[in-house]
Amino acid sequence: MSPDFTRFESETGITFKDKKILREAFTHRSYLNESKEKGLLHNERLEFLGDAVLELVSTDFLFKKYPNEPEGTLTAYRAGLVNANILSGIALDLHLGEMLLLSKGEAKDIGKARQYILANTIESVIGAIYLDQGYDVAADFIAKHILIHTEEVVGKGLWQDAKSLFQEKAQEQYGITPSYKVLEETGPDHDKQFKIGVYLGEKLMGDGIGRSKQDAEQMAAKNVLENHEWKTGRK
């Protein structure tokens, strides 16, 4: 049974002129391997476009909101605002997971890999909105659903470099420098996905998933920080 994409339109107030673009935004690459439908396109090109639109809109917003902050701080704010945790949470709020077209195998995965797919779907949806409705509508969508989290991200320090912060906390509390190891590597060469574990000594503290080893390491450190609540000084 095909998902009801009109639910997305009704919940966001955005009515697509080209329904095929909206469907494409929700079509994961894995779905094409099992579907017999002809002419289907997966959402990776839209994701590429949406990522660029999101970066421009969020950069413009932060540049104006924080006129006295240097480039490095604004970059860190932006990274904290558009990371996989934030974007996947927004995707869940918008029920995007219920509309995704996935292979049977991907559909069964409800762990961190799904979180990553949901974050990518937000970007592909933004790309679709931009193509179908134009920049202003895409910017309004980003402002309403993503930029609204700016105060929380900045106020709670969620923008800070997770690896650096975790290393500081680990050395302060345990006298140990964290180490990172690749736990799993999946996907074709052009679309690799890494699962990396972060260790204190021999103890696995947590893991993270990313398209690069660097992204996965950041996600692993961030997950440990949040799970252990070290940002507030509690273990």
pLDDT category at 235 given cuts 50, 70, 90 is: very low
What is the mean predicted confidence (pLDDT) over 115-138? 95
Collapsed DSSP state (helix, strand, coil) of residue 183: strand
Give catalytic status of residue 136 as yes or no. Answer: no
Give catalytic status of residue 215 as yes or no. Answer: no
Question: 8-22, 41-55, 106-120 — which is least confidently predicted?
Answer: 106-120
Question: Which residues have C-beta within 8 Å of that of residue 59, sequence separation ≥ 6?
Answer: 74, 78
What is the mean predicted confidence (pLDDT) over 154-171? 80
Per-residue model confidence (pLDDT) at position 129: 98
What is the mean predicted confidence (pLDDT) over 129-135? 98
pTM of the model: 0.71
Catalytically annotated residue among 24, 47, 123, 215: 123
Strands 203-210 vs 193-200: parallel, antiparallel or unpaired: antiparallel
For 195, left (φ over 0), alpha (ψ -120 to 50), or beta? beta
Question: 101-105, 134-138, 150-154, 172-176 — which is least confidently predicted?
Answer: 101-105
What are the φ/ψ torsions at residue 167 (nearest 5 degrees)?
A: -60, -40
Collapsed DSSP state (helix, strand, coil) of residue 114: helix
Share of the chain above pLDDT 90, in %: 52
Per-residue model confidence (pLDDT) at position 54: 97
pLDDT category at 123 given cuts 50, 70, 90 is: very high
Per-residue model confidence (pLDDT) at position 233: 40
**Averaged pLDDT of the chain:** 87
Alpha carbons 179 and 22: distance in angstroms, whole number: 42
Q: How would you label 173-184 residue by residue, b for 16+ Cβ within 10 Å and e otherwise?
A: eeeeebebeeee
Ordered by where they begin, the domains of the chain are 6-155 (1.10.1520.10), 162-232 (3.30.160.20)
pLDDT category at 104 given cuts 50, 70, 90 is: confident
pLDDT in tens, 171-229: 888 899 999 999 999 887 777 889 999 999 999 999 998 888 888 898 899 889 877 76
Question: 13-17, 31-35, 94-98 — which is least confidently predicted?
Answer: 31-35
What is the mean predicted confidence (pLDDT) over 14-36? 91
pLDDT category at 137 given cuts 50, 70, 90 is: very high
Could you tell me if 218 and 163 are in contact, meaning their C-beta atoms sit under 8 angstroms apart? yes
Q: Distances from the Cα of 222 to the Cαs of 2, 90, 171, in angstroms?
A: 36, 18, 16
